[in-house]
Amino acid sequence: DAGITQSPRHKVTETGTPVTLRCHQTENHRYMYWYRQDPGHGLRLIHYSYGVKDTDKGEVSDGYSVSRSKTEDFLLTLESATSSQTSVYFCAITGGDEPDTQYFGPGTRLTVL
């Protein structure tokens, strides 16, 4: 998975609790992305980052925040998880020799009860 790890890989939490997902890369790539994948919707972009402390919203950013204090780490936070945020979350990076191609992490399956 191109030097990308996600943690945790699985998480079950309760409505209203805060949750933070971590994406870590060893490629020193500039761009990092968070997606969610739901049946019938494909992948939808939540937030992305184009450098340390530089982030922007994607298509489905409501209820999510992100932070990037180091090149290698991109954190996704659900401030108060809701059942509609039950999903599989993927991190991706791009850059290097193929700047248009995204490389994906293994995903985090989040269940909000």
Partner 1 sequence: SQQGEEDPQALSIQEGENATMNCSYKTSINNLQWYRQNSGRGLVHLILIRSNEREKHSGRLRVTLDTSKKSSSLLITASRAADTASYFCATEHGGATNKLIFGTGTLLAVQP
Q: What share of the chain is helix, strand, coil (3-state, %, to 5)?
A: 5, 65, 35
Residue with tokens 């191609």: 101
Q: Smallest gap, in angstroms, from Cβ of residue 22 to partner 1?
A: 15
Asked if 82 and 112 count as a contact pair (C-beta separation under 8 A), the reply is yes
Compare residues 41 and 70 and give the one whose CB is closer to partner 1.
41
Q: Which is nearer to partner 1, 14 or 59 (CB)?
A: 59
Q: How many CA atoms lie within 13 A of 103 on its CB side?
A: 22
Task: Give least dist CB 21 to partner 1, A.
Answer: 14
Closest distance to partner 1 from the beta carbon of 82 (Å): 21
33 in Cβ contact with 107 (< 8 Å): no
How far apart CA 99 and CA 93 sit, in angstroms, is 10
Residues that bind partner 1 (CB under 8 A): 1, 4, 31, 33, 35, 40-45, 48, 50, 56, 58-59, 90, 92, 94, 98-107
Minimum CB distance to partner 1 smaller for 18 or for 63: 63
Q: Return the number of the residue (48 or 64) whose C-beta is nearest partner 1.
A: 48
